[in-house]
Structure 1
Amino acid sequence: MSTPALVTTPLAAAYEYCAARTRRASSNFYWGFRLLTPERRRSLCAVYAFCRAADDIADEPGATADPERLLARWRAELDAVYRGRPRHPIGVALADTVERFAIAREHFEAVITGVETDLRRDRYETWEGDLAAYCHCVASSVGLIAIEIFGYQNPSARQYAVHLGLAFQLTNILRDVAEDARRGRIYLPREDLRRSGCPEEDVLAGHCTEAFRRVMAFECARAGEHYGRARFLLAEEDRPTLAPAEAMRLIYEQLLRRVMFRRYDVFGPKVRLTRPEKAGLAMAAWARPHLSFLYRLVG
């Protein structure tokens, strides 16, 4: 696990460090990155590397004796980024990125707050104001950062990013139920579990009962609603620059469909897409605005 270093790193090397970290992660987001110009891609890699470093603290709490102290070091590095005195390679690249794209610090602070929540909680009572707030911190905030790098014209892009982030994180929660249960975590809201008649013990034991399927269907519908809101909020003039975000949307919506196709049994092999499937969806996201432009040109 990476911790803030005590020496500075040349800018080019810092960006390469972040790019290598992104490549190793094999994230679904990488396919959206591929649609960016080199400058914007490397900046998004810097953002991803920072968020991943923070998130890994919550995902691997046993890897360090004091995860909250390690997270505090990353908060200190973020402070150094915005004071122009970063030390870690991720911080060096991030300082250049936030200056180039005028990215507000509050979004990065929200990411850290979300990780703190993960360290302190393993249950959520409700969606509104509880799990939704967590999802906003760890996902919507990242979206609000990303659109500044992608570029946009219509202010509706900000709400587009918020709803897309909520949908992405819900999709991750739904496909990772088994993995989280093995760590003693349940992100499905207790309110929804009770409404569906699904005891927490069934989730922790990996029992795909009819009650579990009901709560999963409910949460899938909720995620679908946020994908729908995002699609509605995407202005036509922003489709070309936000094609990377649309690539991610297509990939994550397909993951959600796979969960539904399995009749919500997520206790077997993890729901995934193949590399060709991801590449095809990314190309579809890139092609749509460009083909629309050509049709208007010749029409």
Structure 2
Amino acid sequence: VAAGQPPAARWAAVFGPLQATLRQHALPVPLLDDLLSAFIQDVQKTRDAQGYADRAELLAYCRRSANPVGRLLLHLYGVTGAQALDESDAICTALQLINFWQDLSVDIPRGRHYLPHADCARHGAGPADLLALHSTPNNVLLIADCARWARTLMQKGAPLVLRLPGRAGWELRLVVQGGLRILDKVDALRGASLHTRPRLHAWDWLVMLGRALVM
């Protein structure tokens, strides 16, 4: 469809509208290719019960599964600066990682493993304990370290909120603060996120709004 050919009948309801959007906004097709590539990888990793060897491998996945979303949005807003793109990548990767650490209690039982093996080994977190969703002292340190990694990335990308105009900038402020608030809850659970999924509640939105106002 990017080359102007009609979509196959099976997927016409999806790729027909996408074709029109590609033309209207001149969307960068490689970013969409990256998203599909990441989707395929995720399916294959889950099928084979594979995880990620180290942070570099997980970041390579985030580069294709998360970062294209931010870059597509910046394209629509006409933001093309290198610094803005780097900050967008940092935010999107952080959001992906935060989602992983938020969903440990549901992902691991489904055979989806995102805690890097190298991090697990460094903290002495055994695979058996993780699969059993046990909050051991080593697992507490592992999850805290991974949460800190995600927080550092989010803080690196946060200045992007000042580069986007109007509503987009304010929405991004809440997105950033929402991610950081989930990390607060992951930290407060002290490893219990292995069996309890942290969630946002009504009062959390007040906290997020207050923090967004002073960014």
Name the TM tier (shorter chain): 0.7 to 0.9
For the Cα contact (< 8 Å) 2:163–2:169, is it kept in 1? Answer: no
Deviation at 1:144, TM superposition (A): 1.1
| 2:193 partner SS | coil
Aligned positions of 1:175-254 closer than 5 A:
175-232=102-159, 234=160, 236-240=162-166, 241-254=168-181
TM-score by length of 1: 0.62
Unaligned 5+ residue runs, structure 1? Answer: 1-79, 290-299
Deviation at 1:279, TM superposition (A): 7.7
Unaligned 5+ residue runs, structure 2? Answer: none
Indicate how the Cα distance of structure 1 residues 189 and 90 shifts in structure 2: closer, same or farther if over 3 A, else same.
Answer: same
Aligned to 1:162: 89
AA matched with 2:135: C
For the Cα contact (< 8 Å) 1:82–1:105, is it kept in 2? Answer: no
Aligned positions of 1:4-15 closer than 5 A:
none
For the Cα contact (< 8 Å) 2:2–2:29, is it kept in 1? Answer: no
Q: Does residue 110 of structure 1 match 2:110? A: no
For the Cα contact (< 8 Å) 2:181–2:204, is it kept in 1? Answer: no
Deviation at 1:163, TM superposition (A): 0.6
Aligned length: 207
Distance of 2:72 and 2:210 partners within structure 1: 23
| 1:266 partner SS | helix
| 1:146 partner SS | helix
Distance of 2:203 and 2:6 partners within structure 1: 42
Indicate how the Cα distance of structure 1 residues 84 and 288 shifts in structure 2: closer, same or farther if over 3 A, else same.
Answer: farther
Distance of 2:204 and 2:174 partners within structure 1: 11
Deviation at 1:116, TM superposition (A): 1.3
Q: Does residue 127 of structure 1 match 2:55? A: yes
Indicate how the Cα distance of structure 1 residues 147 and 264 shifts in structure 2: closer, same or farther if over 3 A, else same.
Answer: farther
1:34-90 per-position Cα deviation (integer Å, ceiling 9, x unaligned)? xxxxxxxxxxxxxxxxxxxxxxxxxxxxxxxxxxxxxxxxxxxxxx25526345333
1:158-186 per-position Cα deviation (integer Å, ceiling 9, x unaligned)? 11111111100110111111211111232
Amino-acid identity (%): 21
Distance of 2:157 and 2:178 partners within structure 1: 14
Deviation at 1:263, TM superposition (A): 1.3
For the Cα contact (< 8 Å) 1:153–1:237, is it kept in 2? Answer: no
Aligned to 1:93: 17
TM-score by length of 2: 0.84
For the Cα contact (< 8 Å) 1:126–1:189, is it kept in 2? Answer: yes
